[in-house]
A and B are shown apart, each in its own frame.
Chain A
Amino acid sequence: EPEVTQTPSHQVTQMGQEVILRCVPISNHLYFYWYRQILGQKVEFLVSFYNNEISEKSEIFDDQFSVERPDGSNFTLKIRSTKLEDSAMYFCASSLGQTFNEKLFFGSGTQLSVL
């Protein structure tokens, strides 16, 4: 079965540094998402992306965050200047269709630790 892949599985960085989290969505999917889960808390929506632009973003997704689809396969999340509170598990997801009731396929996540 096709799957969403995320790299790296773990990322440790110093506060104030830039990080890029990488994702390869399922090849025929058109909609891409980033979610995060802070340890012990709920899964939170960050951003959705379609047709090379952001479709929707949450309050969490401030100016420190950006997303990009640099080529036909990768989908990246960049955090420009990391803060301690950015430490979380970041999940990439993709879906074939537009509405949220299309099944989302998630990657296994990148655990980001900001020291």
Chain B
Amino acid sequence: DQQVKQNSPSLSVQEGRISILNCDYTNSMFDYFLWYKKYPAEGPTFLISISSIKDKNEDGRFTVFLNKSAKHLSLHIVPSQPGDSAVYFCAAGGNYQLIWGAGTKLIIKP
């Protein structure tokens, strides 16, 4: 039961370029979406979130776009920096439980 899917296990981007991480979901009842970033041997850290009443949320170099009709969201990082190399998880849900995607490993090349 993959309610939240991140279809790209990995993504390689040149430093300074835009990184675009994608996430698809199946449950139209999700009303809040979050992106977490995870470095090896560390717990996930919150990055940015978006409510279903919005289609865009921006925080510095990070922007999340939500397309409810397509049940798709994306995370844009611009410009990409070496410290952005990590695994990015998309999560969605309500109340106490988050449903997580499998993650996308982002590699920023110098």
Which chain A residues have a beta carbon within 8 Å of chain B's beta carbons? Answer: 4, 6, 31, 33, 35, 41-45, 48, 50, 55-56, 58, 91, 93, 98-101, 103-109
Contacts and interface: CB of A to CB of B under 8 A. Distances in A.
A50 B95 CA distance: 12
A106 B101 contact: no
26 contacts: A35-B100, A41-B102, A42-B89, A42-B100, A42-B102, A42-B103, A43-B44, A43-B100, A45-B98, A45-B100, A48-B96, A55-B96, A58-B97, A98-B95, A98-B96, A99-B95, A100-B94, A100-B96, A100-B98, A101-B32, A101-B51, A103-B46, A104-B46, A105-B46, A108-B42, A108-B43
Interface string B34-71: 10000001111110010100000000000000000000
Contacts of A56: 95-97
Interface of B: 32, 34, 41-46, 49, 51, 89, 91, 93-103
> Closest 5 A-B residue pairs measured CB to CB?
A106-B43, A48-B96, A43-B100, A42-B102, A56-B96
A99 B103 contact: no
